Amino acid sequence: MNDASSALYLGLISGTSADSIDAALIRFGGGAPQLLGTHACPWSSDLRDRMLALAQGEGVLDLDAFGRLDVEIGHCFADAALQLLEQCQIAPREVRAIGSHGQTLRHRPAGEYPFTLQLGDPSVIAERCRIEVVADFRRADIAAGGQGAPLLPILHAMLLGRPGVSRVVLNLGGIANITVLDGDGNVLGFDTGPANGLLDAWCQRHRGEPFDRDGLFAASGRVDQPLLDAMLADPYFSLPPPKSTGREYFHLAWLAAHAQLGSISAADVQATLLELTVRSIAAAIVQQAPFAEEVLACGGGVHNGALMRRLGDVLAPRAVLSTSHYGVDPDFLEATAFAWLARQRLLGLPGNLPAVTGARGPRVLGAIYSAPATESPERMVSGAS
């Protein structure tokens, strides 16, 4: 087995959009992490629908259904990892560990008993892949008074930080989050609000399609200013960082609470949701990163041409580019981050940035789930005697 610092790691995540389980195989060593292979494993539409309904607070689960769902999701994560290993022709024993984020079903970092809940039984993944698994990355930060999110900024700083260059890394997932890199080594980061989550949900309801390809549905409508103003007045947008949010807050019922939706055409609502994404991101960048020269976008939203063009217009003269411009695959940065966090865990090093999450201090994140022994139990007994 390789030592923990220089080795292969496999990162797994399904984000708030629940569009796919993203898997990345990374070699860590002396220089920059090397991305050896990637795989996006789609969810079945039945399981995706069930997860999204629960994540949006629709329906209830009894404890039996909850336990079964955790294991079912764990099997899907194991499938994604095994498919990637097969694709890369890599044997499980060559991989030091899997870092598995799981699927978030609830994120409530505020309140008397703050919590965050990711499903996808790590023991199932370890058993089926025969690889050690690190999982449950967010709760130690929340226990330390932090948001448990975002966890990506530390990797953004490593991969895209440059001395003397002020930049923003913008993750356009279900929720949008920004990382501010000031060029002096200081890092700030937080969730700005919705990105694809609301766009997907509205498109699914009115078009029967899981997402608005290239933003064409949004581009066919016009922004409804009263609706936009009402949504932008939501207190989340003016909360100071640290802050994080999820689908349990920004969902279709949240949208419905802001307008008489029947009086606005579906295309105009889609256009307004896209504008909400752009305006809330731009306001956060202007306020927190006034000197940023570039905004480097990652996450599935980089493939939404209408969204990227509008971000470019509103954020001008800053350049809005995909992270691919600097050789960083925008679709697998998160999976890479969880591979890296698994390595941090095995090295006993912190994975959070207290300046980002608001935690009381740096924390080693994640719990370790052992791989099954490679030797048979009989062999181990006779070998010990």
Indicate which of Mg ion, ligand ATP, none lies near residue 301 (CB less than 5 to 8 Å, by partner kind).
Answer: ligand ATP
The distance from CA 212 to its chain's CA centroid, rounded to whole angstroms, is 19
Q: Is 102 in the site for ligand ATP (CB under 6 A)?
A: no
Q: Is 329 in the site for ligand ATP (CB under 6 A)?
A: no
Q: Is 301 in the site for ligand ATP (CB under 6 A)?
A: yes
Nearer to ligand ATP, 184 or 209 (CB): 209
Answer for which of 10, 11, 12, 19 binds ligand ATP (CB under 6 A) is 19
Shortest gap between Cβ of 320 and ligand ATP (angstroms)?
16
Strand partners, 37: 25
Q: Is 323 in the site for ligand ATP (CB under 6 A)?
A: no
CA distances from 231 to 14, 157, 237, 251, 255 (A): 27, 31, 9, 12, 8
> Token digits for 42?
């789609």
Size of the site for Mg ion (CB under 5 A): 3
Shortest gap between Cβ of 250 and ligand ATP (angstroms)?
11
DSSP 32-80: S-EEEEEEEEEPPHHHHHHHHHHHTT-S---HHHHHHHHHHHHHHHHHH
Number of H helices, E strands in the chain: 15, 12
Q: Is 351 in the site for ligand ATP (CB under 6 A)?
A: no
Size of the site for ligand ATP (CB under 6 A): 22
Nearer to Mg ion, 27 or 303 (CB): 303
Answer for which of 95, 334, 350, 359 binds ligand ATP (CB under 6 A) is 334
Answer for which of 17, 280, 323, 352 binds ligand ATP (CB under 6 A) is 17
Q: Is 344 in the site for ligand ATP (CB under 6 A)?
A: no
- Range list of β-strands (E), the chain: 7-14, 20-28, 34-42, 95-108, 115-119, 133-135, 167-172, 175-181, 187-194, 294-298, 319-322, 367-369
Shortest gap between Cβ of 149 and ligand ATP (angstroms)?
9
> Token digits for 5?
């610092």
Q: Under the rule (CB under 6 A), what is the footprint of ligand ATP? A: 15-17, 19, 171, 173-175, 196, 199-200, 211-215, 299-301, 303-304, 334
